[in-house]
Amino acid sequence: MSVRKICVYPDPALREPTKEIDSFDDELGMLVCDMWETMYASDGIGLAGPQVGVAKKLAVIDYNGEKYVLINPVISEKDNFKIVEEGCISFPGIYEKVESPEHIKVSYCNEKGELIEKEIDGFLACVFSHEIDHLNGKLLIDRISPLKRQFLKKKLAKKAKEK
């Protein structure tokens, strides 16, 4: 197992189109292990493939001790939108209030390749939606107002210079 390097915005890897996963083999198992390690090392509750430079439809979530491995996830319904505060490992130290669904219908495969379909309520639905957005190249910064976005871009550019 190893902790992988996190792609921080504006890393182009975060916008890379992702491919479906079709083999549920040892290689996938190892990738999933690395994703857990990397997520815990960053104190996150979710991590998607593109955030570690892997352009595949894969994400992991650990919310209140409930663990989910999402492979090829698809959301068929989103509703009950609320304003919630979200963070993202690819935007270290940034928290933004964004509109997010507190109810979703989702289908995905687990790491054994079993198809799972469920309805999720509450903040966990927001977490699922956030991670699945990553697989479609959609980021936290895309979900805030244009004015806030401009401000955040400047802030991040300044932060990058300081390093």
Residue from 45, 88, 120, 127 in contact with Co ion (CB under 5 A): 88
Quick check: 126 binds Co ion (CB under 5 A)? Answer: no
Report which of 42, 41, 60 is spatially closest to residue 50, judged by C-alpha positions. 60
Quick check: 45 binds Co ion (CB under 5 A)? Answer: no
Instruction: Indicate if 131 belongs to the active site.
Output: yes
The one catalytic residue among 86, 96, 102, 131: 131
Compute how many residues bind Co ion; rule: CB under 5 A: 1
Residue 114 Cβ vs Co ion, minimum distance, rounded to whole Å: 25
Beta bridge partners of 63: 66
Q: How far apart are CA 43 and CA 89, in angstroms?
A: 8
10: preceding bond cis by omega (within 30 degrees): yes
Quick check: 127 binds Co ion (CB under 5 A)? Answer: no
Quick check: 132 binds Co ion (CB under 5 A)? Answer: no
Quick check: 39 binds Co ion (CB under 5 A)? Answer: no
50: preceding bond cis by omega (within 30 degrees): no
The interface region with Co ion, picked from 59-67, 83-91, 102-110, 142-150 by CB under 5 A, is 83-91
Cβ atoms of 28 and 111 closer than 8 Å: yes
Report which of 18, 30, 126 is spatially closest to residue 69, judged by C-alpha positions. 30
- Site residues, Co ion (CB under 5 A): 88
Query: Annotated active-site positions, please?
Result: 131
